[in-house]
Structure 1
Amino acid sequence: MRIASRSQQALVSHPPVGPILGTSEKGVHTFVTGSGPDLVLIHGANGNLRDFTLGFAERLSSSYRVIAVDRPGLGHSKSMPDGQTSVHDQARQIRAALREIGVQRPIVLGQSYGGAVALAWALQEEPAALVLVSAATMPWPGSLDPWYRITANPIGRHLIVPLASAFVPKSYMRRAVAGVFAPQAAPENYSEHLGTNLTLRYGSLSSTVQQINGLRADVVQMQSHYPMLNLPVELVHGDADTIVPLTIHAEPLAKLLPNANLTVLQNVGHMPHHTHVEEVVNAIDRAALRAGLR
């Protein structure tokens, strides 16, 4: 009862902000603004496309047709069947949906987990360019935190995720958001704008734990194929990012990609598209120039 009530509150307080493209079984919620070369924005874990609509998409709309998407299973996009939640599956679902509005050769920006989806897209069908912001793209040492280890199997997921969906307070989510932004501060109204109730819906939490638990295997499989990507790639990463560390992800990835340019932001955490917008916009503009789109 409490799970259903929370879910309904989320749908009322944070309804779709744009069209849902694709089939009824594989619909992808989008937000589209601006005109120019296509720029697709793919958000990270535990989020939705609203992460990009607190000024970032609008900042780019004078130069690009900006298309922000909810990744499958999150926000208002359709969930994927168990066993079909890999970054490859997500990239295929997003690409298929965006063909409906004529997206063919975009710049694809992936932030955090979304960076792995962007790379999966490029390995399937090269876009014009990639922009990887604080992107999780390489295998990491050690294991995930206990929450993900407990929910790695269907029994744990079906027992624990409903409890979290029903009882995790918004205050916990606000503290989690602060940790993701550290050492910078989150925008004052970020949690409310993003919609923590959307994140806490049972379906969204279940999708997230499946996706995160499968991510390491996905990037292990993709790693050997990275050197085959010849498109322009701009990487932007903070050296104070403790969520997706620079030395584990962006630095080794830049050495594998033939046409990568890495911008390291000093004393910057995991969310530079909010805290250091101009540096990320500059990377997008460089990608467009290198791809011959400007």
Structure 2
Amino acid sequence: MKRRTAGYGLAAAALFLAGCAAAVDNRATRRETAWEAMHPPSGQFIETAGRRVHATVSGSGPDLVLIHGASGNLRDFTFDLVGRLERDFRVIAFDRPGMGYSDDLGPATVSPVAQADALRDAARQLGVRQPIILGHSYGGAVALAWALRAPSEVSALVLLAAASYPWDGGLGALYSFTDTAIGRHTVAPMIAAFATQAQAESVARGIFAPQSAPPGYVEHVGVGLAMRRGQFNTNSEQVNGLKPYLERMAPEYPDLTLPIEMVHGDADTTVGLSIHSQRLAADVDSANLTVLDGIGHMPHHADPEAVVAAIRRAAARAR
């Protein structure tokens, strides 16, 4: 009798947990649907190797490709920077594979090299020729991978607070936990189901610190898109898996001869200036570094004029 009672208890507990999981998933699905309705695709889709890449194209002039950072999407650029550039450049902003509305690449999504290949093919289909490639944060690693893979096809790089070298230590408790199977299956559904606007704004404050996010930025960029289960887990995989790729890429940087303009704030606590940009400036003869005093991880918002000036320098050097 005791064994039967215990069995009933276990069955009841299992049913309860399954019901809780289903309720969380249903709530997450409803919220993801609402977020996508609020921030639908704003550009066009290009198919590459059976996967869709989402891009916006505006302006006229030399081709300028924009690649966003971790957890982001192309709306980070369309908030302000694209409008400053489209009079003088044909600006192509991409959602990186697995981010925004671009499909992931399956197991290869973790690779910045595979991401660069996918964006390169999409750019080719858009008629992009000899682009200047701008990469921010994680997107800087993708821009560097693109230049290493096809240096003759890139006219210049502009790197904003770019991740370029392996770093000591880990990425913090959350990234460590989401790198586990149980973390992937629990954290993403809970965030999609229950994360609040106030929590999203708190994350944005941390990314922009010591500056503040510009008014309207959080609403424009669509932070809910980053909280979708698929994108959250893909971002975790990409960030957790980045270091080994940088370890393989870094020895090749001195071979780069194309113009490279870097902009990095000395108050950036997300991607350290000394670990990344200062080291790249020392290793690559063609790299020029502009250090912004007191600026954090988002220089294209904190000092957009400095970023536009760096892009213009890159274009002039590429002629």
TM-score normalised to structure 2 length: 0.89
Residue type of the alignment partner of 1:130: L
Work out the number of aligned pairs and report it: 292
Q: Please state if 1:235 is matched with 2:269.
A: no
- CA–CA separation in structure 2 for the residues paired with 1:53 and 1:22: 22
Alignment gaps of 5+ in structure 1:
none
Residue type of the alignment partner of 1:158: H
Residue type of the alignment partner of 1:111: H
Match of 1:92 among 102, 109, 117: 117
For 1:242-261, list aligned pairs within 5 A: 242-261=269-288
Higher-Rg member (1/2): 2
- CA–CA separation in structure 2 for the residues paired with 1:181 and 1:163: 25
- CA–CA separation in structure 2 for the residues paired with 1:44 and 1:288: 22
- CA–CA separation in structure 2 for the residues paired with 1:282 and 1:160: 41
Match of 1:20 among 36, 42, 45: 45
Q: Is the 8 A contact 1:22 1:98 kept in 2?
A: no
Question: Which residue does 2:241 correspond to in 1?
Answer: 214
- CA–CA separation in structure 2 for the residues paired with 1:82 and 1:145: 23
Question: Which residue does 1:31 correspond to in 2?
Answer: 56
SS at match of 1:62: coil
Alignment gaps of 5+ in structure 2:
1-25
Q: Is the 8 A contact 1:79 1:203 kept in 2?
A: no
Question: Which residue does 1:148 correspond to in 2?
Answer: 175
Question: Which residue does 1:269 correspond to in 2?
Answer: 296
Question: Which residue does 1:137 correspond to in 2?
Answer: 164
Q: Please state if 1:183 is matched with 2:241.
A: no
| Greater Cα shift, 265-274 or 74-83 | 74-83
- CA–CA separation in structure 1 for the residues paired with 2:150 and 2:107: 24
Residues 74-124 of structure 1: per-residue CA shift (max 9 Å, x gap): 111011213542100110111111111111310000001100000000111
SS at match of 1:79: coil
- CA–CA separation in structure 2 for the residues paired with 1:43 and 1:182: 18
Residue type of the alignment partner of 2:277: A
Q: Is the 8 A contact 1:50 1:193 kept in 2?
A: yes
Residue type of the alignment partner of 1:251: Q
- CA–CA separation in structure 2 for the residues paired with 1:283 and 1:180: 22
Residues 227-255 of structure 1: per-residue CA shift (max 9 Å, x gap): 11111000000001111111111101111
Q: Is the 8 A contact 2:85 2:308 kept in 1?
A: yes
| Greater Cα shift, 34-43 or 82-91 | 82-91
CA drift at 1:159: 3.0
- CA–CA separation in structure 2 for the residues paired with 1:183 and 1:253: 24
For 1:57-136, list aligned pairs within 5 A: 57-126=82-151, 127-136=154-163
Residues 3-33 of structure 1: per-residue CA shift (max 9 Å, x gap): 2111111211001111011248321111111
- CA–CA separation in structure 2 for the residues paired with 1:173 and 1:162: 15
- CA–CA separation in structure 1 for the residues paired with 2:46 and 2:116: 14
Moved over 6 A (4+): none
Percent identity over the alignment is 49
CA drift at 1:165: 2.1
Q: Is the 8 A contact 2:188 2:228 kept in 1?
A: no
Match of 1:284 among 273, 288, 311: 311
- CA–CA separation in structure 2 for the residues paired with 1:134 and 1:146: 23
SS at match of 1:40: strand
* Aligned Cα root-mean-square deviation (Å): 1.2
TM-score normalised to structure 1 length: 0.97
- CA–CA separation in structure 2 for the residues paired with 1:121 and 1:24: 17
- CA–CA separation in structure 2 for the residues paired with 1:65 and 1:165: 35
CA drift at 1:135: 0.6
| Structure richer in helix, relative to its length | 2
CA drift at 1:287: 0.4
| Greater Cα shift, 151-160 or 249-258 | 151-160
